């Protein structure tokens, strides 16, 4: 398993569950100095960071890019895969395709979290789920041709009414006409929705493609009440080989949150 830390690079977004903020180079240098293997980027668009500078920086520091987030497509551009307006759904697909291409250029998968949207008012759940499945199928195939997987993230009930639990995510993935989508196990969302984090991780098994490492209160692991020993054992038992990425609030400060995260990573997975 590989340690990873988030960097938020969207100037208009000033609070959220990301450890480092705004300065890619300084953040990457701090991450490398602490011993993180990877960085996960949250950017406004696919061209917000130049490939040349990102590639040179990660090579110099020996860092990989663990994943790229797509949530700014909703927050800034108002796009989701389940909007009732077909033009907006198509815009969401295009936006995510651009992010997939950006991520693939540095070997990283894109994450679909808030871009999945919600069952819109006045629309049947079945119809919204069909839009989601169509979007994920198109994007999963697109990611495959770019040599990366696509990561789909179940969110807690306050953020989506589509898919909240890993079991339902597994069923959704099995229903798709693509085999290139994996699940994101976000320990914060799971703390709200799952009966047992470790049992859910074991059932999802090899379909888990990324992990968001945050405690019950979305602070860095060690600052909440998640029973992390059992969760870590489940990830070890399924032979998870991917990133354990800190998508958590930068509390009490970004530097201290990063330090707490790498310390917890080494404690449970080192
Ligand atoms: Mn997450």
CA 6 to ligand 1 center in whole angstroms: 10
**Structurally, how many domains does the chain consist of?**
1
CA 150 to ligand 1 center in whole angstroms: 14
CA 148 to ligand 1 center in whole angstroms: 19
User: What span, in angstroms and rounded, lies between the C-alpha atoms of 195 and 259?
Assistant: 30
CA 165 to ligand 1 center in whole angstroms: 13
CA 209 to ligand 1 center in whole angstroms: 12
Q: List the CATH number of the domain containing 199.
A: 3.20.20.150
CA 43 to ligand 1 center in whole angstroms: 15
CA 92 to ligand 1 center in whole angstroms: 19
CA 218 to ligand 1 center in whole angstroms: 10
CA 112 to ligand 1 center in whole angstroms: 9
CA 113 to ligand 1 center in whole angstroms: 7
CA 181 to ligand 1 center in whole angstroms: 16
How does DSSP assign the chain, residue by residue?
A: -EEEEEEEE-TT---SS-SEES-HHHHHHHHHHHT-SEEEEEESSTTSS-HHHHHHHHHHHT-EEEEEE-THHHHTT---TT-SSHHHHHHHHHHHHHHHHHHHHTT--EEESGGG----TTS-HHHHHHHHHHHHHHHHHHHHHTT--EEE----TTT-SS--SHHHHHHHHHHSS-S-EEEEEEHHHHHHH-S-HHHHHHHHGGGEEEEE---TTSSSTTSS---HHHHHHHHHHTT--SEEEE-S---S-HHHHHHHHHHHHHHHH-
Structural domain boundaries enclosing 18 = 2-269
CA 84 to ligand 1 center in whole angstroms: 25
Mind listing the pLDDT tens digit of every residue in the chain (270 residues)?
Answer: 999 999 999 999 999 999 999 999 999 999 999 999 999 999 999 999 999 999 999 999 999 999 999 999 999 999 999 999 999 999 999 999 999 999 999 999 999 999 999 999 999 999 999 999 999 999 999 999 999 999 999 999 999 999 999 999 999 999 999 999 999 999 999 999 999 999 999 999 999 999 999 999 999 999 999 999 999 999 999 999 999 999 999 999 999 999 999 999 999 999
CA 185 to ligand 1 center in whole angstroms: 8
CA 153 to ligand 1 center in whole angstroms: 7
CA 247 to ligand 1 center in whole angstroms: 6
């Amino acid at each position: 398993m590989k340690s990873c830390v988030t960097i938020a690079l969207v100037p208009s977004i000033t609070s959220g569950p990301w450890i480092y903020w705004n300065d890619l180079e300084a953040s990457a240098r701090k991450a490398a100095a602490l011993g993180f293997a990877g960085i996960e980027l949250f950017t406004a668009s696919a061209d917000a960071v130049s490939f040349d500078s990102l590639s040179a920086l990660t090579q110099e520091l020996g860092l990989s890019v663990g994943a790229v987030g797509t949530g700014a497509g909703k927050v800034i551009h108002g796009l989701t895969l389940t909007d009732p307006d077909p033009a907006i759904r198509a815009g969401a697909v295009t936006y995510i395709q651009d992010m997939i291409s950006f991520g693939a250029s540095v070997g990283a998968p894109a994450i679909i979290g808030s871009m999945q949207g919600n069952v819109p008012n006045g629309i049947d759940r079945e119809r919204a789920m069909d839009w989601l499945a169509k979007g994920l199928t198109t994007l999963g195939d697109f990611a495959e041709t770019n040599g990366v997987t696509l990561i789909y993230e179940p969110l807690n009930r306050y953020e989506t009414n589509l898919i909240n639990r890993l079991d339902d995510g597994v069923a959704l993935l099995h229903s798709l006409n693509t085999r290139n989508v994996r699940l994101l196990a976000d320990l914060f969302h799971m703390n709200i929705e799952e009966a047992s984090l470790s049992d859910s991780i074991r059932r999802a098994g090899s379909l888990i493609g990324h992990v968001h490492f945050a405690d019950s209160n979305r602070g860095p692991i060690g600052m909440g009440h998640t029973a992390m020993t059992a969760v870590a054992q489940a990830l070890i038992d399924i032979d998870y080989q991917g990133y354990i990425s800190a998508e958590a609030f930068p509390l009490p400060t970004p530097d201290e949150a990063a330090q707490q995260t790498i310390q917890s990573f080494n404690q449970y997975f080192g």
